Chain A
Amino acid sequence: MIRSNWNKRGQRLALLAATTALLMAASMAFTVGTAVAGVIIVKSDDLPQYTPPATAFRQASKRESIEVVLRSRLDQGDSEFLKQAASTTRPSAVFALGSRAAIAAREAFPETPLVFAMALGWSRNISTDGATTGVSVELPTADLFVRFKLIIPGLHRIGLITSDSDSRTVDEARAAASELGLEILHETVRHHDEVAGAYRRIRSRIDALWMVPDPVVVTRENFDYLSTRCRNDGVAFLAFSENFVKAGALLSVAPSYSTMGSQAALLVEQLITDPGNVPPVQSPLGAKLVVNADTAKALGLDLNATTIHMADRVITPTREGF
Protein backbone atom coordinates (compact mmCIF):
# COMPACT_ATOMS: atom_id res chain seq x y z
CA MET A 1 0.00 0.00 0.00
CA ILE A 2 1.26 3.44 -0.87
CA ARG A 3 0.01 6.62 0.70
CA SER A 4 0.93 10.05 -0.52
CA ASN A 5 1.80 12.94 1.72
CA TRP A 6 3.41 15.61 -0.37
CA ASN A 7 4.53 18.15 2.08
CA LYS A 8 4.33 21.73 0.91
CA ARG A 9 2.37 21.55 -2.31
CA GLY A 10 0.15 18.75 -1.16
CA GLN A 11 -2.91 20.66 -0.10
CA ARG A 12 -4.64 20.38 -3.45
CA LEU A 13 -3.87 16.68 -3.57
CA ALA A 14 -5.14 16.22 -0.06
CA LEU A 15 -8.43 17.76 -1.11
CA LEU A 16 -8.56 15.50 -4.09
CA ALA A 17 -7.79 12.48 -1.97
CA ALA A 18 -10.77 13.25 0.20
CA THR A 19 -13.10 12.83 -2.73
CA THR A 20 -11.50 10.07 -4.73
CA ALA A 21 -10.46 6.52 -4.01
CA LEU A 22 -7.24 6.08 -2.04
CA LEU A 23 -5.41 4.23 -4.76
CA MET A 24 -6.26 6.77 -7.39
CA ALA A 25 -5.07 9.61 -5.16
CA ALA A 26 -1.82 7.82 -4.48
CA SER A 27 -1.25 7.18 -8.13
CA MET A 28 -1.77 10.85 -8.98
CA ALA A 29 0.57 11.91 -6.22
CA PHE A 30 3.35 9.83 -7.65
CA THR A 31 2.69 11.26 -11.08
CA VAL A 32 3.16 14.73 -9.68
CA GLY A 33 6.14 13.49 -7.71
CA THR A 34 8.22 12.53 -10.71
CA ALA A 35 9.27 16.13 -11.12
CA VAL A 36 10.74 16.49 -7.65
CA ALA A 37 13.46 14.63 -5.81
CA GLY A 38 12.08 14.39 -2.31
CA VAL A 39 12.35 12.19 0.75
CA ILE A 40 10.73 8.78 0.95
CA ILE A 41 9.29 8.00 4.38
CA VAL A 42 9.19 4.21 4.71
CA LYS A 43 7.20 2.58 7.50
CA SER A 44 7.84 -1.02 8.48
CA ASP A 45 4.13 -1.47 9.02
CA ASP A 46 0.97 0.55 9.36
CA LEU A 47 1.41 1.00 13.12
CA PRO A 48 -0.04 4.08 14.86
CA GLN A 49 3.29 4.57 16.68
CA TYR A 50 4.89 5.54 13.36
CA THR A 51 2.48 8.41 12.74
CA PRO A 52 3.90 11.01 15.21
CA PRO A 53 7.50 10.80 13.93
CA ALA A 54 6.35 10.80 10.30
CA THR A 55 4.16 13.85 10.93
CA ALA A 56 6.87 15.71 12.83
CA PHE A 57 9.35 14.89 10.09
CA ARG A 58 7.11 16.43 7.45
CA GLN A 59 6.53 19.51 9.60
CA ALA A 60 10.20 20.05 10.33
CA SER A 61 11.56 19.18 6.91
CA LYS A 62 11.59 21.70 4.11
CA ARG A 63 11.62 18.89 1.57
CA GLU A 64 8.71 17.23 -0.13
CA SER A 65 8.02 13.67 0.85
CA ILE A 66 6.03 10.59 -0.01
CA GLU A 67 5.17 7.75 2.32
CA VAL A 68 5.40 4.03 1.67
CA VAL A 69 4.13 1.38 4.06
CA LEU A 70 5.67 -2.08 3.74
CA ARG A 71 3.24 -4.96 3.63
CA SER A 72 3.78 -8.65 4.14
CA ARG A 73 3.74 -10.21 0.68
CA LEU A 74 4.60 -13.70 -0.36
CA ASP A 75 5.40 -12.86 -3.96
CA GLN A 76 7.70 -9.89 -3.41
CA GLY A 77 10.49 -8.92 -1.00
CA ASP A 78 10.44 -5.64 0.91
CA SER A 79 13.19 -4.00 -1.11
CA GLU A 80 11.59 -5.01 -4.41
CA PHE A 81 8.27 -3.64 -3.24
CA LEU A 82 9.92 -0.43 -2.14
CA LYS A 83 11.74 -0.02 -5.44
CA GLN A 84 8.54 -0.56 -7.34
CA ALA A 85 6.55 1.78 -5.14
CA ALA A 86 9.09 4.53 -5.64
CA SER A 87 9.99 3.70 -9.21
CA THR A 88 8.99 7.09 -10.53
CA THR A 89 10.84 9.08 -7.89
CA ARG A 90 14.44 10.09 -7.38
CA PRO A 91 14.77 10.08 -3.59
CA SER A 92 17.33 12.47 -2.19
CA ALA A 93 17.05 10.65 1.15
CA VAL A 94 15.06 7.97 2.94
CA PHE A 95 13.56 8.22 6.42
CA ALA A 96 12.91 4.68 7.64
CA LEU A 97 10.66 3.91 10.60
CA GLY A 98 11.49 0.53 12.08
CA SER A 99 14.29 -1.94 11.38
CA ARG A 100 12.46 -3.66 8.56
CA ALA A 101 12.01 -0.37 6.71
CA ALA A 102 15.65 0.57 7.25
CA ILE A 103 16.93 -2.77 5.92
CA ALA A 104 14.63 -2.62 2.90
CA ALA A 105 15.60 0.98 2.16
CA ARG A 106 19.31 0.23 2.33
CA GLU A 107 18.85 -2.66 -0.13
CA ALA A 108 16.58 -0.73 -2.48
CA PHE A 109 18.59 2.50 -2.50
CA PRO A 110 22.16 1.62 -1.47
CA GLU A 111 23.61 4.99 -2.48
CA THR A 112 20.88 7.19 -0.99
CA PRO A 113 21.28 8.86 2.43
CA LEU A 114 19.31 6.92 5.01
CA VAL A 115 18.08 8.03 8.42
CA PHE A 116 16.27 5.53 10.61
CA ALA A 117 14.26 5.79 13.83
CA MET A 118 12.23 3.49 16.07
CA ALA A 119 14.42 0.57 15.06
CA LEU A 120 14.77 -1.87 17.97
CA GLY A 121 18.21 -3.47 18.10
CA TRP A 122 19.46 -1.24 15.30
CA SER A 123 23.11 -1.95 16.10
CA ARG A 124 22.60 -5.66 15.32
CA ASN A 125 20.38 -5.25 12.26
CA ILE A 126 21.33 -2.08 10.42
CA SER A 127 24.69 -1.35 8.86
CA THR A 128 25.79 2.24 9.31
CA ASP A 129 28.29 2.06 6.48
CA GLY A 130 27.95 4.89 4.00
CA ALA A 131 25.49 7.71 4.44
CA THR A 132 23.43 6.04 7.16
CA THR A 133 22.56 7.37 10.57
CA GLY A 134 19.53 7.52 12.81
CA VAL A 135 17.89 8.06 16.15
CA SER A 136 18.03 5.20 18.65
CA VAL A 137 15.07 4.07 20.70
CA GLU A 138 16.59 4.23 24.17
CA LEU A 139 16.81 7.39 26.26
CA PRO A 140 20.17 7.81 28.00
CA THR A 141 19.96 6.46 31.55
CA ALA A 142 21.23 9.73 33.03
CA ASP A 143 18.44 11.56 31.24
CA LEU A 144 15.92 9.20 32.83
CA PHE A 145 17.37 9.64 36.29
CA VAL A 146 17.28 13.45 36.09
CA ARG A 147 13.61 13.27 35.17
CA PHE A 148 12.99 10.91 38.09
CA LYS A 149 14.63 13.43 40.42
CA LEU A 150 12.54 16.28 39.05
CA ILE A 151 9.39 14.49 40.18
CA ILE A 152 10.89 12.89 43.32
CA PRO A 153 13.23 15.50 44.83
CA GLY A 154 14.13 13.24 47.75
CA LEU A 155 15.26 10.37 45.56
CA HIS A 156 18.54 8.79 46.64
CA ARG A 157 18.39 5.00 46.33
CA ILE A 158 16.88 3.25 43.33
CA GLY A 159 16.10 -0.45 43.36
CA LEU A 160 16.65 -2.38 40.13
CA ILE A 161 15.73 -6.00 39.44
CA THR A 162 17.03 -7.59 36.26
CA SER A 163 17.68 -11.02 34.85
CA ASP A 164 21.27 -12.17 34.88
CA SER A 165 21.57 -11.58 31.13
CA ASP A 166 21.06 -7.85 31.41
CA SER A 167 24.38 -6.57 32.74
CA ARG A 168 24.58 -3.60 30.34
CA THR A 169 21.54 -1.96 31.90
CA VAL A 170 23.00 -2.31 35.38
CA ASP A 171 26.41 -0.95 34.35
CA GLU A 172 24.84 2.08 32.68
CA ALA A 173 22.55 2.67 35.64
CA ARG A 174 25.44 2.60 38.11
CA ALA A 175 27.48 5.02 36.00
CA ALA A 176 24.60 7.46 35.60
CA ALA A 177 23.63 7.19 39.25
CA SER A 178 27.15 8.01 40.32
CA GLU A 179 27.09 11.22 38.29
CA LEU A 180 23.84 12.31 39.91
CA GLY A 181 24.60 11.35 43.50
CA LEU A 182 22.22 8.39 43.38
CA GLU A 183 22.75 4.81 44.47
CA ILE A 184 21.60 1.67 42.67
CA LEU A 185 20.58 -1.36 44.73
CA HIS A 186 20.52 -4.22 42.27
CA GLU A 187 19.04 -7.70 42.54
CA THR A 188 19.47 -10.42 39.93
CA VAL A 189 16.82 -13.04 39.19
CA ARG A 190 16.93 -16.09 36.94
CA HIS A 191 13.20 -16.78 36.85
CA HIS A 192 10.12 -14.60 36.97
CA ASP A 193 8.91 -16.13 40.22
CA GLU A 194 12.04 -14.87 42.01
CA VAL A 195 11.06 -11.22 41.56
CA ALA A 196 8.91 -10.93 44.68
CA GLY A 197 11.74 -12.23 46.84
CA ALA A 198 14.22 -9.90 45.20
CA TYR A 199 11.98 -6.95 45.96
CA ARG A 200 11.55 -7.98 49.59
CA ARG A 201 15.34 -8.06 50.04
CA ILE A 202 15.74 -4.39 49.02
CA ARG A 203 12.42 -2.73 49.82
CA SER A 204 13.44 -1.27 53.17
CA ARG A 205 16.50 0.39 51.67
CA ILE A 206 15.11 2.04 48.51
CA ASP A 207 13.15 5.19 47.71
CA ALA A 208 12.08 3.98 44.29
CA LEU A 209 11.94 0.81 42.21
CA TRP A 210 12.86 1.22 38.55
CA MET A 211 11.25 -1.38 36.33
CA VAL A 212 13.10 -1.86 33.03
CA PRO A 213 11.76 -3.83 30.04
CA ASP A 214 13.34 -7.13 31.08
CA PRO A 215 11.19 -10.03 29.81
CA VAL A 216 12.09 -12.23 32.80
CA VAL A 217 11.02 -9.59 35.31
CA VAL A 218 8.03 -7.96 33.65
CA THR A 219 5.05 -10.27 33.87
CA ARG A 220 1.47 -9.42 34.74
CA GLU A 221 1.78 -11.11 38.13
CA ASN A 222 5.04 -9.35 38.96
CA PHE A 223 3.68 -5.97 37.94
CA ASP A 224 0.58 -6.40 40.09
CA TYR A 225 2.69 -7.52 43.05
CA LEU A 226 5.29 -4.76 42.72
CA SER A 227 2.73 -2.03 42.11
CA THR A 228 0.77 -2.97 45.21
CA ARG A 229 3.79 -3.55 47.42
CA CYS A 230 5.50 -0.32 46.37
CA ARG A 231 2.40 1.69 47.14
CA ASN A 232 2.04 0.08 50.55
CA ASP A 233 5.75 0.46 51.32
CA GLY A 234 5.92 4.11 50.23
CA VAL A 235 8.27 3.22 47.40
CA ALA A 236 7.92 5.12 44.11
CA PHE A 237 7.32 2.66 41.26
CA LEU A 238 8.99 3.93 38.07
CA ALA A 239 7.95 2.35 34.79
CA PHE A 240 8.74 2.56 31.10
CA SER A 241 5.24 2.65 29.63
CA GLU A 242 2.17 4.79 30.14
CA ASN A 243 0.05 1.66 30.51
CA PHE A 244 1.84 0.82 33.75
CA VAL A 245 1.10 4.32 35.06
CA LYS A 246 -2.56 3.88 34.29
CA ALA A 247 -2.37 0.65 36.27
CA GLY A 248 -0.83 2.31 39.32
CA ALA A 249 2.88 3.01 38.78
CA LEU A 250 3.96 6.52 39.79
CA LEU A 251 5.41 7.57 36.46
CA SER A 252 6.81 6.49 33.16
CA VAL A 253 9.41 8.09 30.94
CA ALA A 254 9.51 7.07 27.29
CA PRO A 255 11.05 8.64 24.20
CA SER A 256 9.00 11.26 22.39
CA TYR A 257 8.21 9.74 19.00
CA SER A 258 7.46 13.09 17.43
CA THR A 259 10.82 14.50 18.51
CA MET A 260 12.48 11.55 16.79
CA GLY A 261 10.87 12.76 13.57
CA SER A 262 12.19 16.29 14.11
CA GLN A 263 15.67 14.92 14.83
CA ALA A 264 15.50 12.79 11.70
CA ALA A 265 14.59 15.82 9.60
CA LEU A 266 17.75 17.59 10.78
CA LEU A 267 19.85 14.48 10.15
CA VAL A 268 18.45 14.13 6.62
CA GLU A 269 19.36 17.73 5.94
CA GLN A 270 22.88 17.17 7.24
CA LEU A 271 23.36 14.04 5.11
CA ILE A 272 22.12 15.73 1.96
CA THR A 273 24.06 18.97 2.36
CA ASP A 274 27.25 17.41 3.70
CA PRO A 275 27.31 13.75 2.63
CA GLY A 276 30.95 13.31 3.53
CA ASN A 277 30.29 14.09 7.17
CA VAL A 278 27.91 11.46 8.51
CA PRO A 279 26.76 12.25 12.06
CA PRO A 280 26.64 9.36 14.54
CA VAL A 281 23.40 7.70 15.61
CA GLN A 282 21.75 9.96 18.20
CA SER A 283 19.83 9.26 21.35
CA PRO A 284 16.25 10.52 21.38
CA LEU A 285 16.14 14.04 22.80
CA GLY A 286 12.57 14.52 23.91
CA ALA A 287 10.75 12.37 26.42
CA LYS A 288 7.15 11.73 27.33
CA LEU A 289 6.63 11.85 31.08
CA VAL A 290 3.36 10.47 32.41
CA VAL A 291 2.49 10.77 36.10
CA ASN A 292 -0.26 9.11 38.12
CA ALA A 293 -1.64 11.84 40.40
CA ASP A 294 -3.31 9.43 42.79
CA THR A 295 -0.13 7.43 43.32
CA ALA A 296 1.80 10.67 43.79
CA LYS A 297 -0.66 11.77 46.42
CA ALA A 298 -0.40 8.41 48.18
CA LEU A 299 3.38 8.82 48.28
CA GLY A 300 3.09 12.36 49.63
CA LEU A 301 4.61 13.96 46.55
CA ASP A 302 3.69 17.56 45.76
CA LEU A 303 2.54 17.80 42.16
CA ASN A 304 2.62 21.57 41.78
CA ALA A 305 2.10 23.49 38.57
CA THR A 306 5.81 23.40 37.76
CA THR A 307 5.89 19.65 38.06
CA ILE A 308 2.76 19.27 36.01
CA HIS A 309 4.26 21.43 33.29
CA MET A 310 7.10 18.95 33.02
CA ALA A 311 4.67 16.10 32.53
CA ASP A 312 3.13 15.35 29.21
CA ARG A 313 0.23 13.70 30.88
CA VAL A 314 -1.05 13.60 34.43
CA ILE A 315 -3.43 10.70 34.98
CA THR A 316 -6.03 11.33 37.66
CA PRO A 317 -7.98 8.09 38.01
CA THR A 318 -10.24 9.45 40.72
CA ARG A 319 -10.52 12.86 38.99
CA GLU A 320 -9.85 14.60 42.28
CA GLY A 321 -7.89 17.81 42.51
CA PHE A 322 -4.40 17.71 43.92
Chain B
Amino acid sequence: MARASDAELFFFSPDWAPGNLSTLAEAADRALSESGLGLSFQAFARYEDLVGQLSTARPALVLVPGWVAAEHGENLQLRALLRPTRNGRDTYHKVLMTTKGVSSLAGLANATVAAAVHPGSIDYPASASGIRSLVGDGARVLPVPKDIDALLALSFGQVDAALVTPAQFEILARVNPRGTDNLVELGRTPEIPLPRLYATRYIDDDEANRLAAGIAKLSSSSRGRQFINLLGFDEVELLEIINGEDRVMADNTNRKEVER
Protein backbone atom coordinates (compact mmCIF):
# COMPACT_ATOMS: atom_id res chain seq x y z
CA MET B 1 0.00 0.00 0.00
CA ALA B 2 1.18 3.50 -0.81
CA ARG B 3 2.30 5.61 2.11
CA ALA B 4 1.61 9.31 2.29
CA SER B 5 5.21 10.11 1.49
CA ASP B 6 5.39 8.18 -1.76
CA ALA B 7 1.87 8.32 -3.20
CA GLU B 8 1.66 9.19 -6.88
CA LEU B 9 -1.18 10.73 -8.84
CA PHE B 10 -1.30 9.89 -12.54
CA PHE B 11 -3.15 12.18 -14.94
CA PHE B 12 -4.19 11.45 -18.49
CA SER B 13 -6.72 13.28 -20.61
CA PRO B 14 -6.61 13.09 -24.40
CA ASP B 15 -8.09 16.58 -24.61
CA TRP B 16 -5.18 18.05 -22.71
CA ALA B 17 -2.60 19.71 -24.97
CA PRO B 18 0.50 17.51 -24.71
CA GLY B 19 2.82 20.48 -25.22
CA ASN B 20 1.47 22.10 -22.09
CA LEU B 21 2.29 19.30 -19.69
CA SER B 22 5.39 21.03 -18.36
CA THR B 23 3.29 24.00 -17.25
CA LEU B 24 0.85 21.64 -15.59
CA ALA B 25 3.62 19.73 -13.86
CA GLU B 26 5.14 22.95 -12.50
CA ALA B 27 1.76 24.07 -11.15
CA ALA B 28 1.18 20.64 -9.62
CA ASP B 29 4.55 20.70 -7.90
CA ARG B 30 3.82 24.08 -6.38
CA ALA B 31 0.28 23.23 -5.27
CA LEU B 32 1.00 19.77 -3.89
CA SER B 33 4.16 20.88 -2.16
CA GLU B 34 2.25 23.68 -0.45
CA SER B 35 -0.56 21.32 0.57
CA GLY B 36 1.71 18.92 2.43
CA LEU B 37 -0.29 15.95 1.17
CA GLY B 38 2.81 13.92 0.35
CA LEU B 39 1.57 13.38 -3.16
CA SER B 40 3.52 13.64 -6.40
CA PHE B 41 2.02 14.25 -9.82
CA GLN B 42 2.74 12.63 -13.15
CA ALA B 43 0.98 13.66 -16.36
CA PHE B 44 0.93 11.52 -19.49
CA ALA B 45 0.51 12.75 -23.03
CA ARG B 46 0.16 9.28 -24.53
CA TYR B 47 -2.28 6.60 -23.50
CA GLU B 48 0.31 3.90 -24.21
CA ASP B 49 2.72 5.51 -21.76
CA LEU B 50 0.05 5.64 -19.07
CA VAL B 51 -0.81 1.99 -19.54
CA GLY B 52 2.85 1.04 -19.41
CA GLN B 53 3.30 2.85 -16.09
CA LEU B 54 0.07 1.74 -14.41
CA SER B 55 1.39 -1.72 -13.68
CA THR B 56 5.00 -0.86 -12.94
CA ALA B 57 4.77 2.43 -11.02
CA ARG B 58 1.75 1.41 -8.89
CA PRO B 59 0.13 4.86 -8.57
CA ALA B 60 -2.14 5.49 -5.58
CA LEU B 61 -4.52 7.72 -7.54
CA VAL B 62 -5.40 8.19 -11.20
CA LEU B 63 -7.26 11.12 -12.75
CA VAL B 64 -8.53 9.71 -16.04
CA PRO B 65 -11.54 9.68 -18.36
CA GLY B 66 -14.27 7.12 -17.79
CA TRP B 67 -13.27 4.99 -20.77
CA VAL B 68 -9.80 4.56 -19.32
CA ALA B 69 -11.29 3.70 -15.92
CA ALA B 70 -13.57 1.15 -17.59
CA GLU B 71 -10.62 -0.53 -19.28
CA HIS B 72 -8.52 -0.77 -16.12
CA GLY B 73 -11.11 -0.61 -13.35
CA GLU B 74 -11.20 -4.30 -12.59
CA ASN B 75 -7.46 -4.85 -12.67
CA LEU B 76 -6.68 -1.77 -10.58
CA GLN B 77 -9.82 -2.04 -8.39
CA LEU B 78 -10.58 1.59 -9.09
CA ARG B 79 -12.88 3.52 -6.72
CA ALA B 80 -14.11 6.98 -7.74
CA LEU B 81 -13.15 9.69 -5.25
CA LEU B 82 -13.62 13.08 -6.87
CA ARG B 83 -15.89 14.47 -9.55
CA PRO B 84 -14.46 17.55 -11.25
CA THR B 85 -16.80 20.04 -12.88
CA ARG B 86 -16.47 22.86 -15.38
CA ASN B 87 -19.14 25.52 -15.54
CA GLY B 88 -21.16 23.43 -13.09
CA ARG B 89 -21.18 20.35 -15.31
CA ASP B 90 -19.16 17.14 -15.26
CA THR B 91 -19.43 16.67 -19.00
CA TYR B 92 -18.54 18.74 -22.02
CA HIS B 93 -18.82 18.47 -25.76
CA LYS B 94 -16.94 19.59 -28.81
CA VAL B 95 -18.34 21.16 -31.93
CA LEU B 96 -17.36 20.48 -35.49
CA MET B 97 -16.79 23.83 -37.15
CA THR B 98 -16.52 24.30 -40.86
CA THR B 99 -17.00 27.08 -43.38
CA LYS B 100 -20.25 28.32 -44.83
CA GLY B 101 -21.07 26.28 -47.88
CA VAL B 102 -20.54 22.92 -46.25
CA SER B 103 -24.03 21.97 -45.21
CA SER B 104 -23.76 18.35 -44.16
CA LEU B 105 -21.33 15.91 -42.61
CA ALA B 106 -21.32 14.05 -45.90
CA GLY B 107 -19.60 17.06 -47.37
CA LEU B 108 -16.61 16.32 -45.19
CA ALA B 109 -16.22 12.72 -46.31
CA ASN B 110 -12.71 13.28 -47.68
CA ALA B 111 -11.91 16.47 -45.85
CA THR B 112 -9.00 17.39 -43.60
CA VAL B 113 -10.17 17.97 -40.05
CA ALA B 114 -7.91 19.59 -37.46
CA ALA B 115 -8.40 18.51 -33.86
CA ALA B 116 -6.45 18.74 -30.63
CA VAL B 117 -5.90 15.04 -30.19
CA HIS B 118 -2.75 13.06 -29.76
CA PRO B 119 -1.49 11.70 -33.10
CA GLY B 120 -1.60 8.19 -31.74
CA SER B 121 -5.09 8.36 -30.28
CA ILE B 122 -7.22 9.48 -33.22
CA ASP B 123 -8.62 6.07 -33.91
CA TYR B 124 -9.00 4.71 -30.40
CA PRO B 125 -12.44 3.14 -30.43
CA ALA B 126 -13.29 4.76 -27.11
CA SER B 127 -11.43 8.02 -27.68
CA ALA B 128 -13.10 10.85 -25.86
CA SER B 129 -13.14 13.12 -28.86
CA GLY B 130 -15.39 10.73 -30.78
CA ILE B 131 -14.11 12.38 -33.91
CA ARG B 132 -14.61 9.42 -36.18
CA SER B 133 -18.26 9.18 -35.21
CA LEU B 134 -18.71 12.64 -36.68
CA VAL B 135 -16.53 12.72 -39.75
CA GLY B 136 -16.31 9.04 -40.69
CA ASP B 137 -13.30 7.01 -41.75
CA GLY B 138 -12.65 8.87 -44.99
CA ALA B 139 -11.73 12.21 -43.46
CA ARG B 140 -8.09 12.97 -42.75
CA VAL B 141 -7.66 13.96 -39.13
CA LEU B 142 -4.78 16.36 -38.51
CA PRO B 143 -3.64 16.40 -34.88
CA VAL B 144 -2.74 19.87 -33.61
CA PRO B 145 -1.59 20.88 -30.13
CA LYS B 146 -4.57 22.99 -29.11
CA ASP B 147 -8.10 23.93 -30.10
CA ILE B 148 -6.91 27.38 -31.08
CA ASP B 149 -4.51 25.84 -33.61
CA ALA B 150 -7.39 23.94 -35.19
CA LEU B 151 -9.56 27.05 -35.30
CA LEU B 152 -6.87 29.25 -36.81
CA ALA B 153 -6.12 26.60 -39.43
CA LEU B 154 -9.80 26.61 -40.33
CA SER B 155 -10.22 30.37 -40.30
CA PHE B 156 -7.19 30.77 -42.60
CA GLY B 157 -8.50 28.11 -44.99
CA GLN B 158 -5.79 25.55 -44.30
CA VAL B 159 -8.16 22.75 -43.29
CA ASP B 160 -11.79 21.96 -44.07
CA ALA B 161 -13.08 21.59 -40.51
CA ALA B 162 -12.02 21.84 -36.87
CA LEU B 163 -13.24 19.95 -33.81
CA VAL B 164 -13.07 22.32 -30.84
CA THR B 165 -14.77 23.32 -27.61
CA PRO B 166 -17.39 26.05 -28.07
CA ALA B 167 -15.59 28.23 -25.53
CA GLN B 168 -12.45 28.35 -27.65
CA PHE B 169 -14.45 29.39 -30.68
CA GLU B 170 -16.06 32.20 -28.70
CA ILE B 171 -12.67 33.45 -27.57
CA LEU B 172 -11.36 33.53 -31.12
CA ALA B 173 -14.54 35.19 -32.37
CA ARG B 174 -14.02 38.02 -29.88
CA VAL B 175 -10.45 38.58 -30.99
CA ASN B 176 -10.93 38.06 -34.70
CA PRO B 177 -14.61 38.52 -35.62
CA ARG B 178 -13.85 39.04 -39.28
CA GLY B 179 -11.92 35.78 -39.46
CA THR B 180 -14.68 33.77 -37.81
CA ASP B 181 -17.71 35.26 -39.58
CA ASN B 182 -17.52 32.57 -42.21
CA LEU B 183 -17.41 29.66 -39.77
CA VAL B 184 -20.44 27.57 -38.86
CA GLU B 185 -21.16 24.66 -36.55
CA LEU B 186 -21.92 21.49 -38.45
CA GLY B 187 -22.23 18.96 -35.65
CA ARG B 188 -21.29 18.18 -32.11
CA THR B 189 -20.00 15.23 -30.17
CA PRO B 190 -22.08 13.50 -27.52
CA GLU B 191 -21.50 14.73 -23.98
CA ILE B 192 -18.01 13.65 -22.93
CA PRO B 193 -17.50 13.02 -19.21
CA LEU B 194 -14.67 14.95 -17.60
CA PRO B 195 -11.93 12.81 -16.07
CA ARG B 196 -12.52 11.65 -12.48
CA LEU B 197 -10.16 10.88 -9.66
CA TYR B 198 -9.95 7.21 -8.72
CA ALA B 199 -8.12 5.34 -5.97
CA THR B 200 -6.26 2.23 -7.10
CA ARG B 201 -5.57 -1.10 -5.46
CA TYR B 202 -2.24 0.31 -4.27
CA ILE B 203 -3.78 2.51 -1.57
CA ASP B 204 -6.17 1.74 1.27
CA ASP B 205 -9.50 3.50 1.70
CA ASP B 206 -8.51 5.66 4.65
CA GLU B 207 -5.44 7.05 2.93
CA ALA B 208 -7.38 7.48 -0.31
CA ASN B 209 -10.07 9.47 1.46
CA ARG B 210 -7.46 11.62 3.17
CA LEU B 211 -5.78 12.45 -0.12
CA ALA B 212 -9.10 13.06 -1.87
CA ALA B 213 -10.19 15.46 0.85
CA GLY B 214 -6.87 17.26 0.56
CA ILE B 215 -7.18 17.59 -3.20
CA ALA B 216 -10.74 18.86 -2.85
CA LYS B 217 -9.40 21.61 -0.62
CA LEU B 218 -6.58 22.65 -2.95
CA SER B 219 -8.69 25.40 -4.44
CA SER B 220 -8.64 27.31 -1.19
CA SER B 221 -5.14 28.53 -2.09
CA SER B 222 -4.16 30.48 -5.18
CA ARG B 223 -1.59 27.91 -6.23
CA GLY B 224 -4.00 25.05 -5.71
CA ARG B 225 -6.71 26.86 -7.65
CA GLN B 226 -4.31 27.48 -10.50
CA PHE B 227 -3.49 23.76 -10.60
CA ILE B 228 -7.18 22.77 -10.61
CA ASN B 229 -7.89 25.33 -13.35
CA LEU B 230 -4.99 24.09 -15.41
CA LEU B 231 -6.42 20.59 -15.26
CA GLY B 232 -9.43 22.10 -16.99
CA PHE B 233 -11.77 22.16 -13.97
CA ASP B 234 -13.53 24.87 -12.00
CA GLU B 235 -14.39 22.77 -8.98
CA VAL B 236 -13.95 19.28 -7.60
CA GLU B 237 -16.58 17.47 -5.53
CA LEU B 238 -15.98 14.60 -3.16
CA LEU B 239 -17.70 11.33 -3.93
CA GLU B 240 -18.32 8.27 -1.86
CA ILE B 241 -19.10 4.85 -3.21
CA ILE B 242 -22.37 3.30 -2.15
CA ASN B 243 -23.20 -0.06 -3.66
CA GLY B 244 -20.98 0.70 -6.60
CA GLU B 245 -22.69 3.97 -7.48
CA ASP B 246 -21.23 7.43 -7.17
CA ARG B 247 -22.97 9.87 -4.86
CA VAL B 248 -21.96 13.46 -4.36
CA MET B 249 -21.45 14.21 -0.71
CA ALA B 250 -23.70 17.04 0.38
CA ASP B 251 -20.88 18.91 2.01
CA ASN B 252 -21.67 22.56 1.59
CA THR B 253 -18.67 23.61 3.62
CA ASN B 254 -16.35 21.79 1.29
CA ARG B 255 -18.13 23.17 -1.74
CA LYS B 256 -17.65 26.68 -0.48
CA GLU B 257 -13.96 26.00 -0.06
CA VAL B 258 -13.52 24.97 -3.65
CA GLU B 259 -15.52 27.78 -5.12
CA ARG B 260 -13.42 30.42 -6.83
Contact = CB atoms under 8 A, between A and B. Distances in A.
B176 A256 contact: no
B230 A288 contact: no
B119 A285 contact: no
A313 B159 CA distance: 25
Nearest to B145: A286
A256 B149 contact: yes
Nearest to A259: B144
B30 interface: yes
B19 interface: yes
Interface in B165-203: 167, 171-172, 175-176, 178-179
Interface string A300-315: 0000111011111110
A263 B142 contact: yes
How many residues of A sit at the interface, in one of the four size bands?
35 or more
A270 to B, nearest CB: 8
Interface string A279-297: 0001101111000000000
B112 A266 contact: yes
Contacts of A263: 142
A146 to B, nearest CB: 5
Given A269-B140, A310-B148, A150 B171 contact: yes
A321 B144 contact: no
A60 B156 contact: no
B20 interface: yes
B119 A59 contact: yes
Interface in B150-169: 152-153, 156, 158-159, 167
A287 B149 contact: yes
B217 interface: no
A220 interface: no
A305 B178 CA distance: 25
B81 interface: no
Contacts of A261: 119
A135 to B, nearest CB: 11
Contacts of B179: 142, 146, 179-180
B146 A286 contact: yes
B112 A146 contact: no
The 9 A-B pairs with the shortest beta carbon distances in the complex, nearest first, are: A305-B229, A59-B119, A312-B19, A60-B119, A286-B149, A286-B144, A59-B120, A285-B153, A321-B222
